[in-house]
Amino acid sequence: MVLFFIGYIFSQPHCLPILSEMYGRMRQRYLKEHRPSLYSSLILSEKLYPHLLEIDRAAHERMDAMLPRMMGAAGVTEELKARDPMRWVGLMNTLKVQVEETIFQELIFQ
């Protein structure tokens, strides 16, 4: 059985590119725009979707590992959240952006 989906041919139904995770989509866009030969190779070998899932999984693991450490180093605690919620939100947003920049450089744009 061969399936056609948005210009791609997949021999296995489980390979359909239904990707809703942000980091996997970003990696796909980067490959398509900046590494077209690798992108084509991954499509033709039916390894694109597993690659994108792996990137997304690794990015989420990295976020889950780095954010708590950075929160501790910056003094972002539940006590601060209760005492000064706006400051807590600002610090959390800053830390999340810093972690995402690391993820982008190490996983997405490599």
pTM: 0.77
Q: Nearest Cα to 100, choosing from 53, 48, 62, 69?
A: 62
At 76, is the secondary structure helix, strand, or coil? coil
pLDDT tens for the 110 residues of the chain, in order: 444 444 454 555 455 455 568 999 999 999 999 999 999 999 999 999 999 999 999 999 999 999 999 999 999 999 999 999 999 999 999 999 999 999 999 999 98
75: left (phi over 0), alpha (psi -120 to 50) or beta: left
